[in-house]
Amino acid sequence: MTTLPLPAGLLLLTVTACFLPVARAQCLPDQLDVGGMTIEFATTTATYDDDVRISAMGTDAPTVTATGVEGDLLLVLVDPDAPSARMCPSNYWLHWIAEIHILNDEIVIEKTIVAYEAPSPPPRSGPHRYQFILYTLDLLVPLDQVPGSRSGFNLARFITGLGLGNSDPVASFQFTAEN
């Protein structure tokens, strides 16, 4: 290395850059395990923050249960790591919205707002988090609030548009999957 003389009044700064591989950037936040949710797919039951094989999920909507939560609720399933878990900014990919009713831990789907789409992250895009979120629902989802696209879904704007902007989820759950 060659050192050159510096003009008077200038400081020499040495900057060392270190780049580490990032497995999951997590640009959008994790969902905490709240409300005792259980997610049962075709051949497996997901546990909180567990890695679930895509092949074990099947294509049909999972059975969702929530302990200690009752009433009319809004169920939302999103992937916050789309299109790639290794890049920011990420966007929510919308997988499901349904108006549901829970009584005695049993969930009945009253109305599907956005049809269920099974998790299927793009190949080599890293592990994706899939988040199930339940909000208390005081009124039915108006047609003008139904998202027009799954891509780039703005969860905060959707919840605020329903008048639930200051509401914390009554239950939430996440697992990861990779293709």
Under 8 Å between Cβ of 125 and 134: no
pLDDT in tens, 41-52: 989 988 887 888
Strand 128-136, strand 91-103: pairing: unpaired
Q: Is the pLDDT of residue 120 over 80?
A: yes
Residue numbers of the domain that contains 81:
37-103+121-177
- Please choose, from the candidates 131, 61, 152, 155, the residue with its C-alpha nearest in 3D space to the C-alpha of residue 100: 61
| 3 part of a folded domain | no
DSSP classification of residue 8: T
- Residue 131's contacts (CB-CB under 8 Å, 6 or more residues apart) are 31, 76, 77, 78, 79, 80, 172, 173, 174
Task: Report the amino acid identity of residue 131.
Answer: Q
pLDDT in tens, 148-168: 899 989 888 898 888 887 778
Question: Strand locations in 104-149, DSSP E?
Answer: 106-114, 128-136
| 131 part of a folded domain | yes
Q: How far apart are the C-alpha atoms of 96 and 116, rounded to whole Å? A: 5
pLDDT in tens, 69-98: 889 999 999 998 888 767 766 678 999 999
pLDDT at 29: 67
Q: Which residue has the higher pLDDT, 97 or 141?
A: 97
pLDDT at 20: 26
Number of separate domains in the chain:
1
| 169 part of a folded domain | yes
| CATH code of residue 59 | 3.90.280.10
| 27 part of a folded domain | no
| 128 part of a folded domain | yes
Q: CA 146 → CA 61, 114, 156, distances in Å?
A: 19, 8, 14
